Amino acid sequence: MKIVKVNNKEELSEKATELFVHALNRLEKPVIGLATGSTPEGMYDKLTEKYQAGDITFKNAITFNLDEYASLAADNPNSYRYYMDEKLFNHVDIQKENTHLPNGLAGDLQQECTTYDERIIEAGSLDFLVLGIGLNGHIGFNEPGTAFDSRTHVVELTESTREVNSRFFDSLDEVPTEALTMGLGTIMEAKEIMLLVQGVKKAEILKKVVHGEVAEEVPASILQRHPNTTIITDIEL
Ligand code: F6R
């Protein structure tokens, strides 16, 4: 794993944008995996600015988001589809039909996961994947204990993840109890991974991810086995 140390959130967003743009420009039809959450917000703003300045285009890009809540419609402001539309897709020239998120309203959620995984493979697997990390080491919604060879699947969210994410909802009760997420096996097939980790509260978990044992109890520790992962962080390791 390559570590890029930055000094603050602004620098993290700049560096992340730089790597993203490199991946976007390098390939004729880039297949890009995307994360939601607070950490990549600055990067999405900068990508939008670069598009508006005429410096980059998304017209040939295909995207697959890591995850989506079960039971939230696309027009629900807490759905990850809504987040992506608001933060990036509505402001750039990406073709909407080339943007993919698992459908949390599908009648058969497990079938939806299987189809999602197949679509990623059909697209040639992810060329570049943006990840954030949860306080318990989750990536996507892969909570501690998730099998390293898991494919896209339905998860029951832990209470801690629901509590952390409840900051975006009116109350904890409104936070869905299930989500659909790329599995750790799916994530590991990405050709290049960029993990963004910001803020001292994530120092303890990041140290485990980088220096600790590779163990299912710390899902992101599997990235030690990935041949092309860069961690961009403002944490001193
Ligand atoms: C979001 C996702 C999650 C977040 C993680 C960190 O699509 O997959 O794993 O990356 O929960 O979230 P923030 O950036 O809000 O701390």
Ligand 1 atom nearest to CA at 40: 14
Whole-number pLDDT of residue 7: 98
Structural domain of residue 135, as residue ranges? Answer: 2-233
- CA R_g for the chain: 17
What is the CATH number for 56? 3.40.50.1360
pLDDT surpasses 90 at 119: yes
Nearest CA to ligand 1 atom 2: 140
Whole-number pLDDT of residue 160: 85
Nearest to 204 by CA among 235, 162, 164, 163: 235
In 36-168, which ranges are E strands? 62-65, 67-69, 99-100, 128-131, 153-156
pLDDT surpasses 90 at 147: yes
Q: What is the interface pTM, i.e. ipTM, of the complex?
A: 0.99
Number of separate domains in the chain: 1
How far away, in angstroms, is 132 Cα from ligand 1 center?
5
**3-class SS at 24?**
helix
Q: Report how far residue 37's alpha carbon sits from residue 199's, in angstroms, rounded to the nearest whole number.
A: 14
Q: What residues act catalytically?
A: 67, 136, 138, 143
